[in-house]
Amino acid sequence: MRITETYDVIAIGGAVMGSSLAYYLAADPDFSGKILVVEKDPSYQRCASALSAAGIRQQYSCAINIQISLYGIEFLRRIGEALEVDGDRPDIQLHEAGYLFLATEENRAILKENHALQTTLGADILFLEPLDLAERFPWLSVEGLSAGCWGRTGEGWFDGYGLMQAFRRKALALGVTYRAAAATGVQRTGDRVTAVLLDDGTRISCGAIVNAAGAGGPMIARVAGLEIPVHNKSA
């Protein structure tokens, strides 16, 4: 087994999570370390970033999820500026058409409580009574409905594959290294992971790793001595 290089941070998985992590680190003026992104499939044909519906919403019941999404929509709105490379501004076709959540009388109180939390944190979500629903959405049958919530702005969908490629291109422009390889294991020194093992026999030492391997994440965690509750239903 050969040691080729040492990196301060290695991200295992180069789709939107690994590439966005690499971008944020590389763009941080307080970080001057070397970053490596390891991706087993540089075509990204089967990654979640390419296959997902790529939606964003603030209609959650957990404050941190709402706050993350509020940050996310602001970033997506200015992605052309943030991820511009050599005058080329990415366009991920963001459509803020909103999501509509409906409730019967049994769940009205839950919808009302969630709406109060969402709007308190700054989300632009409307609480609609049945008559309001019928007026705004004339194609919708409101029989049996007690209320609905609709994201007037800040919710919708976009090109997930395009977002991933924009992060990747910007990370490369900022000096991040990408390697087409599969991570097969890690090595630890005490409680710290100090190296990543690749399928070509390479051992790369590191200061820290980030597990951004998606459905492959449990395997990476397991070889590091951890168990995480992520399951691949196709396996």
Q: Tell whether the model's pLDDT for residue 5 goes beyond 80.
A: yes
Average the pLDDT over 139-168 and give the result: 97
Q: Could you tell me if residue 34 is inside a domain?
A: yes
pLDDT value for 215: 84
Let me know whether 30 and 59 are in one domain.
Answer: no
Let me know whether 174 and 152 are in one domain.
Answer: no
Q: Could you tell me if residue 231 is inside a domain?
A: no
Let me know whether 130 and 174 are in one domain.
Answer: no
Look at the block and give the residue holding tokens 């939107």. 16
Q: Could you tell me if residue 232 is inside a domain?
A: no
Let me know whether 60 and 115 are in one domain.
Answer: yes
Average pLDDT, the chain: 93
Residue that finishes a domain, picked among 126, 158, 190: 158
pLDDT in tens, 181-216: 999 989 988 889 999 999 988 999 999 999 999 888
Average the pLDDT over 165-180 and give the result: 97
Q: Could you tell me if residue 72 is inside a domain?
A: yes
Token couple for 131: 């008559």
Which pLDDT band, with edges at 50, 70 and 90, does 76 fall under?
very high
Q: Which amino acid is at 101?
A: F
Cβ distance 50 to 193 under 8 Å?
no
Which pLDDT band, with edges at 50, 70 and 90, does 1 fall under?
low
Q: Tell whether the model's pLDDT for residue 235 goes beyond 60.
A: no
Let me know whether 154 and 171 are in one domain.
Answer: no
Show the domain range for 200. 2-50+164-223
pLDDT in tens, 13-63: 999 999 999 999 999 999 999 999 999 998 988 888 888 889 999 999 999
Distance CA 186, CA 223 (A): 6
Which pLDDT band, with edges at 50, 70 and 90, does 3 fall under?
low
Cβ distance 38 to 11 under 8 Å?
yes
pLDDT value for 106: 97
Residue that finishes a domain, picked among 131, 158, 185: 158
Distance CA 65, CA 67 (A): 5
Let me know whether 185 and 119 are in one domain.
Answer: no
Let me know whether 140 and 75 are in one domain.
Answer: yes
Let me know whether 92 and 146 are in one domain.
Answer: yes
- CATH code for the domain in which residue 169 is found: 3.50.50.60
Let me know whether 66 and 151 are in one domain.
Answer: yes
Which pLDDT band, with edges at 50, 70 and 90, does 233 fall under?
low
Let me know whether 124 and 206 are in one domain.
Answer: no
Q: Could you tell me if residue 87 is inside a domain?
A: yes
Let me know whether 30 and 76 are in one domain.
Answer: no
Into how many domains does the chain fold? 2
Residue that finishes a domain, picked among 116, 134, 158: 158
Q: What is the dihedral of CA 10, 180, 183, 167, to 10 degrees?
A: 40
